[in-house]
Structure 1
């Protein structure tokens, strides 16, 4: 494996609970959305909690923090492509120095979940388009289809999906990492209010179906427009799910 694994997500994609597995493993230094520090601050309108004012705030400095950490031990970082899209699209050296994995979730559920926490979310923050752009960059760079996980598959059968991911990354599958204590890992404190369910979880589970999700979606033109815009990018990546 490379010394660094990147999980490229969109908001509300169950990426945080997958990150929790890597925290529980104990053999990776885990960074939670480091590039968010380059676009947001404690004064931003987006909900945040205990802001880390000591963390770097430029793309170059954040990237360097990750690379330096990877010189000491394996690194896992989870982030949203839209946080650093333009820089990332041309930084092929950075993309090439790590294993890049994508996680996607069916857009109705993710968009409604996002809306409940941050109703003023802008179009680009839904995240699928930015993911797909980096997906295409990597496909061209490597000549291979990037690794894609569907979050619904992860929730339905976490052991199978994570075992397969470990095989892809050439790391040991550790069954003990699939369960944990209910707590907020320090990596999540800046965005704690976004991860209430993950903080109160003990393992990856499939959530109950929420009929009101569809009702809210059908009643809100903004959500429908966000869905219509991003759905094609989801479908493109979903065709290559592992």
Structure 2
């Protein structure tokens, strides 16, 4: 498969604004878009994509490759609060997929995640595992994968999206930067996590609620942030700078 037809996979730490980025990819209209298919497989045992029901990560990868070889290139975003061992053992993930990554300043991402899921484990905050996947891709390909930062995305939307598109072999479509507010079937299963995106019409930084636990007010979150900060720092050294 040519590089221009390879599926694009965005690996993202939870609460990094990755669904807002996915919303841009949906609005383009020329991509077959999947929202967290491998997470859904782990949670539900099945996922619907491109008119088919799949029940394993390798079957999902097969389908992504098949669809991209046809008329519509696949864009999928996935979060790092689950682990994906069988998928990472399939060499096609590295040779036949364009793997990209999305981060966000840990203290803000962790505070937002905790507000949605106060019972999250240390690993579910995702920075360490995102770094593990990044290292696997870098080791397998010999190249440094593309990294974008959710804070950069909302601070400088068009240059960030334009540069991302250029790196992964997509034409930049400025009309995809705006959309009609509303929920999408793509993320119906995890709808409550994406209320801000559903209410939005473009890439903007929403205001954090005034009353929210943060690493400054919560000792548990302070320890979580201290654990994950080095992994964010390692990834941030490679991020696409505006």
Task: Please report the TM-score for the alignment, with normalisation by the length of structure 1.
Answer: 0.89
* Deviation, structure 1 residue 78: 0.3
* Structure 1 counterpart of 2:186: 187
* Deviation, structure 1 residue 209: 5.9
* Structure 2 counterpart of 1:48: none
Kindly indicate whether residue 87 of structure 2 is the aligned counterpart of residue 88 of structure 1. Answer: yes
SS of the aligned residue for 1:120 comes to coil
Tell me which of 218, 221, 225 is aligned to 1:220: 218
* Rounded Cα–Cα distance in structure 2 between residues aligned with 1:35 and 1:86: 11
SS of the aligned residue for 2:181 comes to coil
SS of the aligned residue for 2:139 comes to helix
* Structure 2 counterpart of 1:31: 34
* Rounded Cα–Cα distance in structure 2 between residues aligned with 1:200 and 1:210: 16
* Structure 1 counterpart of 2:149: 150
* Structure 2 counterpart of 1:10: 13
Question: Is the Cα contact below 8 Å between 1:8 and 1:102 reproduced in 2?
Answer: yes
> Once superposed, what is the RMSD of the aligned Cα atoms?
2.0
- Runs of 4+ aligned residues of structure 1 deviating over 4 Å after TM superposition are 209-213
Question: Is the Cα contact below 8 Å between 1:111 and 1:223 reproduced in 2?
Answer: yes
* Structure 1 counterpart of 2:164: 165
Q: Which moved more, 1:189-198 or 1:167-176?
A: 167-176
* Deviation, structure 1 residue 223: 1.1
* Structure 1 counterpart of 2:174: 175
SS of the aligned residue for 1:31 comes to strand
Structure 1's unaligned 5+ residue stretches are 43-50
Question: Is the Cα contact below 8 Å between 1:37 and 1:55 reproduced in 2?
Answer: no
How many residue pairs match? The answer is 232
Distance 1:55 1:114, change over 3 A: farther
* Rounded Cα–Cα distance in structure 2 between residues aligned with 1:210 and 1:151: 18
Distance 1:83 1:71, change over 3 A: farther
Cα-to-partner distance string for 1:12-35 (whole Å, 9 max, x where unaligned): 010000000000000100000000
* Structure 2 counterpart of 1:22: 25
Structure 2's unaligned 5+ residue stretches are none
SS of the aligned residue for 1:79 comes to strand
Distance 1:219 1:57, change over 3 A: farther
Distance 1:67 1:154, change over 3 A: same
* Deviation, structure 1 residue 142: 1.6
Question: Is the Cα contact below 8 Å between 1:35 and 1:84 reproduced in 2?
Answer: no
Question: Is the Cα contact below 8 Å between 1:180 and 1:202 reproduced in 2?
Answer: yes
